[in-house]
A and B are shown apart, each in its own frame.
Chain A
Amino acid sequence: MAVKGSKYRQLFTGLAFIGPNIAGVFTFVIFPVLFAILLAFSNWDLTKHNIFKDEPLYFVGLDNFTRLFNEGDFVRFLLNTLFLMMGIPFCVAGSLFCAMMLNKDNRGGGGKIYLYLTASALLFVGCIMLTLVGMGASAMTLLLAGVGGTVLISGLGFGQTIFRTLFYMPHFTTGVATYLLWKKLYDPYDGPINNVLNPVLGYVEAGVKVAPSPIVYMMHLALVVVVPVMFAFVLKRVYRWWQDGDLGSQGAFVTILITCIPIAVLVMKFSGFVHWTGKLEAVAIGGASVVMLLLFAIKWWNGKPFQIVEGMYGFGSALAFSLLMLVLMFIAIGLSMVVGNLPEMAQSGLEAPHWLTDYHWAKPSLMIMGFWAAIGSNNMLLYLAALTNVPKGLYEAAEIDGAGRFQTFWNVTWPQLAPTTFFIAVMSTIGGLQGGFEAARTMTEGGPSGATTTLSYYIYMEGFQTGRLSFSAALAWALFILVFTITLFNWKFGNRYVND
């Protein structure tokens, strides 16, 4: 009998603990979410439907959703959001790199610690003396360099803990505070970033002015050549995966198609076929088809046996790889264009970007800031935890097989981290689609000219500034559908398991 009484008591205690939470979830999450569905299909407007107004509420079908696509703003702000998300692969790669670095024990030995402390003390004394004799700027530079050095030295002295703390710091610093800090860093004239960039650009300007134009042109061409080289690398990889049965034909085609886009851009730029402009898709699809046929031909010519796999097999990894290469190829194209235009730009004077106040630089500015915040975030912690779980035996086996560092990483570490990478990729994608609100509100108010307005900020503006709650709900649901689709896609094609 006592046991039965105890069971009820336990049940009651358990419910008492989770009850408030469940009530909270129902009230503040589930109910609003369901209510938002109704809103999205109605004409609910704060000016017509609220506690003071009782105008009839109509079911408007898909009107709010069709309006999303009729008004240019939705597509524009969606593209802004997607542009900011282009930084995600780099953030994930950065987190992994940091985690790997922080996973190593770099502690120095013996009496080195005293040496480091003495060096630090000397540095600070030196800075103070420089300031006292009126060389504040030099002291500041020395101090900044010194702080960086001290951090490294501290790591050698005290081990990983100090680095782990420092790298995780952006994550537990209040968002608004960091945004204000970055706003100062991005100051177009007096900000530290441009204070560093301007002298560098000055040297570049001077160098470009005196450099013979063929040299600049060769540099420009070299960067252009990097793009087909990258494409060749993609082809090589895809071909091997395809050959080995790690990738299906459809997956191979999509991968090639994606990486054909920068090649198509280059072809259109350099071929002189101006009338092709606006037919990028046609060029890319045509190019990808030709390349696929060529690969088929090579396979047939080599007479190597086909590993027949399902068409979409390995699609997720290949897609991630091709998107990463796509971004890198576009960076190379961008750099080549910058170098190509350098002589002309140098004549009018090279100037550091105006970052947040420049329409074209505002988005990359937020992206860079996001990169800084993301590499030391929870992603890094997840990777750190995952790295400790990689069986040591695998590394030993790789070492015995004579694998180098890169081979060990590619064939042991990376596959073992697949579930973590999958989780991080899904969460980062969701976060990326939903994010951008705080930064846009604090740093740019969505400007200049809507350049940094993301979907989440747009939802807020429509809901609380213009009162069009139904339209705002439709926006939120469109965003949800997008998030859900991408997550499903990730789920289907992503590498969720170690043995994938």
Chain B
Amino acid sequence: MKYIFLSIFLVLLLATFALLSSYPENNTTTPTLYWVTDANPARKDQVEGFQEWLVKHNHVNDDNEPAVQLKLDTANRSDDKIIIQGVSGIGGDILDTYGGTGIRFLGKIGMLDDVTEHAKANGYDVSQTYAPMKEELMVNGKQYGFPCNVGAQIFWVNKDILEEHNQPIPSLNWTVEEFEKLGKAYIKSANKPGERQKNFYMDRIDLILIYRSMGFSSFNETLTATQYNDERFIKSLRLLHKWTYEDRILPSASDIASFNSQQGYGGANLQLFYRGNYAMIQTGRYALIQLRKFGAMNLAAVRPPYLDYPNTVVGTRSAVVYVAGKHKEYAKLFLAYLASEDYNMRIVKTADALPPNPEYTKVEEFLKPKDYPNEWGCHEVFSDAANEIGIGYVYSPYVLRQQMNRYEGDAINAVMSNRMSAEKAASQLQQQVMADIKHNVNLKKYALPELVEQYHKDVELQNKIDELKKQGKKIPLSYIKNPFYRKYYQDKGMVE
């Protein structure tokens, strides 16, 4: 028996060595960078681009080959894996994060390298990208990453399916009333009476788009409190419920669960959009990666409908540098590559959302891709929206965004499943988030003193803002920390 065990032990030992020797860094003297990212088919091309860019910019070794090799790690992209590996000291060199949530959380942990100075010196500081990206990339004046791409939430329109049902293509800017009217007409035309509804006007509408279009933000101006009890938030919950269960413009959770579709990159919605089950989908320009594979379809793009204030949400998938990475200088070079023409033109060509640098949205290849005339007129809708009506997400230093997302998701689900009225869900949500904020700033001796101090200052500032609002006076822009209100008040002429 002991010989069997010994043999097994030796076999396992050999297998371990075989595995170790198969690691890319063990087969070459060139340093290896690992990029923890999603399984987007465009990544391979982007990696090749980096190798070429390194040579072009003379980052080469003695053999005139790229000074570093970049490998994809798509198996460890989930947030929990990034965190666990990161705090264990074995994170990837370059990490993909989604917007300010990831950057703030990983930054708070201390996993991210401050790239502010390197970015200024190498041409990838925040001035090189869209204005709303500042909030997504910077925390307390420090820059932690650079966008791999930028996504403005726009509605893709399947023109073929609308024409098939003799329905008009919505105008670029449209109101919620128009959306509802056209949606109802489409549903009536696209579904046979007495049969189960399988065709919907839209796949989804984010709640944030509805309530922001009424001039409402979940946080107040100084980010010290949420205001979910506001009638505008409640109205947006009611509208979402109405569109899903009364007007049937949007699919319910059961409808979505019942669609039998393969989940390619970008999810099942793209296939359902192509097939005509959804006349429109809310997503970014990156939908084209998959849509182009399905075949030519006549497309249009329109902005989200609004009630009072046209706007859309702009987000990013940004690359950050792991602070304990072995080759941080090379990893930072990768961020410089993201700002380069080489990379931006690849994004333009592969349609992996908007290029990080808005300058490249003005080129002919972006506006009128030669091989895809069916997309002409769509691309600028995304870039214009990002520049004109795009606003980033709101992050408060006093509460974790992940926690808020969970509470918000629960509240929306509670309303959608008829478990709670919109008023009750909003009230519960308000209580939950405020309890978290109070907990975080009231933690006796072990709260972060600077956070508590900042909170009290911000609360004082908020009192001043409330007083000014009460008196009908304009508010100094410097008082406002909430990026939504900064833009909204500016657009409405409410700031000094």
A residues sitting closer than 8 Å to B (CB atoms) are 13, 17, 43, 46-48, 50-53, 55-56, 58, 60, 67, 71, 183, 186-191, 354, 356-359, 447-450, 461, 464-467
A200 CB, nearest partner CB in chain B, Å = 18
Q: Is the CB of A357 within 8 A of B254?
A: yes
**Is B172 in contact with chain A by the CB < 8 A criterion?**
no
Q: Is the CB of A47 within 8 A of B109?
A: yes
Given the complex, which residues of B lie within 8 Å of A467, measured CB to CB?
83, 105, 109
Q: Is the CB of B402 within 8 A of A465?
A: yes
**Is B196 in contact with chain A by the CB < 8 A criterion?**
yes
Q: Is the CB of B83 within 8 A of A464?
A: yes
B411 CB, nearest partner CB in chain A, Å = 8
Q: Is the CB of B406 within 8 A of A461?
A: yes
Stretch among B235-243, B337-345, B385-393, B412-420 lining the A interface:
B412-420
Q: Which residues 4-51 of B have a CB within 8 angstroms of A?
A: 5
| Minimum CB distance partner of A54 in chain B | B110
Q: Is the CB of B89 within 8 A of A354?
A: no
Given the complex, which residues of B lie within 8 Å of A464, measured CB to CB?
80, 83-84
Q: Is the CB of B79 within 8 A of A465?
A: yes
Q: Choose among B5, B256, B413 the residue that contacts A17 (Cβ–Cβ < 8 A).
A: B5
Given the complex, which residues of B lie within 8 Å of A46, measured CB to CB?
83, 87, 109
Majority SS at the chain A contact face: loop
Q: Is the CB of A189 within 8 A of B254?
A: yes
| Minimum CB distance partner of B414 in chain A | A449
Q: Is the CB of B413 within 8 A of A188?
A: no
Inter-chain CB contacts under 8 Å: number: 92
Majority SS at the chain B contact face: helix
Q: Is the CB of B419 within 8 A of A449?
A: yes
Known contacts A58-B446, A464-B80, A357 near B253 by CB under 8 Å: yes
Q: Which residues 413-439 of B have a CB within 8 angstroms of A?
A: 413-414, 416-419, 435, 439
Q: Choose among A17, A51, A186, A357 the residue that contacts B89 (Cβ–Cβ < 8 A).
A: A51
B104 CB, nearest partner CB in chain A, Å = 10
Q: Which residues 422-465 of B have a CB within 8 angstroms of A?
A: 435, 439, 443, 445-446, 448
Q: Is the CB of B254 within 8 A of A71?
A: no
Q: List 9 A-B contacts (CB under 8 A).
A: A53-B109, A53-B110, A187-B260, A188-B257, A188-B258, A354-B253, A449-B414, A461-B406, A464-B84
Known contacts A58-B445, A60-B446, A450-B410, A52 near B324 by CB under 8 Å: yes
| Chain B 77-120 interface 0/1 with A at a Cβ cutoff of 8 Å (1 = within) | 00110011001110000000000000001001111000000000
For the A-B complex with A52-B323, A466-B400, A466-B402 known, give 17 more contacts whose Cβ atoms are closer than 8 Å: A13-B2, A51-B324, A52-B109, A55-B448, A60-B446, A189-B255, A356-B257, A357-B253, A357-B257, A359-B413, A448-B413, A449-B413, A450-B410, A465-B79, A465-B80, A467-B105, A467-B109
A358 CB, nearest partner CB in chain B, Å = 7
Given the complex, which residues of A lie within 8 Å of B253, measured CB to CB?
354, 357, 448
Distance of A102 Cα from B258 Cα, bound (Å): 37
Distance of A150 Cα from B220 Cα, bound (Å): 67
Q: Is the CB of A357 within 8 A of B252?
A: yes
| Minimum CB distance partner of B79 in chain A | A465
| Chain B 389-413 interface 0/1 with A at a Cβ cutoff of 8 Å (1 = within) | 0000000000010110010011001
Q: Specify which of B87, B255, B256 lies most central, judged by the most chain A CB atoms within 10 Å of its CB.
A: B87
Given the complex, which residues of B lie within 8 Å of A50, measured CB to CB?
87, 109-110
Q: Specify which of A51, A449, A450, A467 lies most central, judged by the most chain B CB atoms within 10 Å of its CB.
A: A449
Distance of A55 Cα from B196 Cα, bound (Å): 59
Distance of A43 Cα from B88 Cα, bound (Å): 19
| Minimum CB distance partner of B420 in chain A | A449
Given the complex, which residues of A lie within 8 Å of B414, measured CB to CB?
359, 449
Q: Is the CB of A189 within 8 A of B419?
A: no
